[in-house]
Amino acid sequence: MFRGMYPIFWIGLLIMYSFAILSMLVEMITNTGTVEYSLAGIPVPFIYVMFFFIWIIPMAVALLWYWVPKRSKARRDQGREG
């Protein structure tokens, strides 16, 4: 099942899960709950979860998963021609 996968797949999963685990650890280790802090009435964890885990990290990983295999295929095809 995982035989033909590019290593960038595993790197992308590592990026996504490491940020999730890191934020979970920060919320567990802090003495006061991070929900107590708010910005414009919105709890801070909601803001960084929205920006990082819903928008920024998945888009960056999706671009990596699209761009890296395409680039390696173009290099491989260029090597066959030259």
Q: How many CB atoms sit inside 10 A of residue 12's CB?
A: 20
Residue 2 lies in a domain: no
Residue 63 lies in a domain: yes
Residue 68 lies in a domain: yes
Residue 66 lies in a domain: yes
Count how many domains the chain has: 1
Taking only Cα atoms into account, the Rg of the chain, rounded to an integer number of angstroms, comes to 19
Q: Write the pLDDT tens digit of every residue in 30-57.
A: 776 666 778 888 887 788 778 878 888 8
Residue 21 lies in a domain: yes
pTM: 0.61
Residue 26 lies in a domain: yes
Domain that holds residue 15: 8-72
Q: Write the pLDDT tens digit of every residue in 14-29.
A: 888 888 888 788 878 8
Region 72-76: mean pLDDT is 84
Residue 36 lies in a domain: yes
User: In this predicted structure, what is the pLDDT of residue 82?
Assistant: 56
Give the tokens for residue 36.
Answer: 């107590």
Residue 81 lies in a domain: no
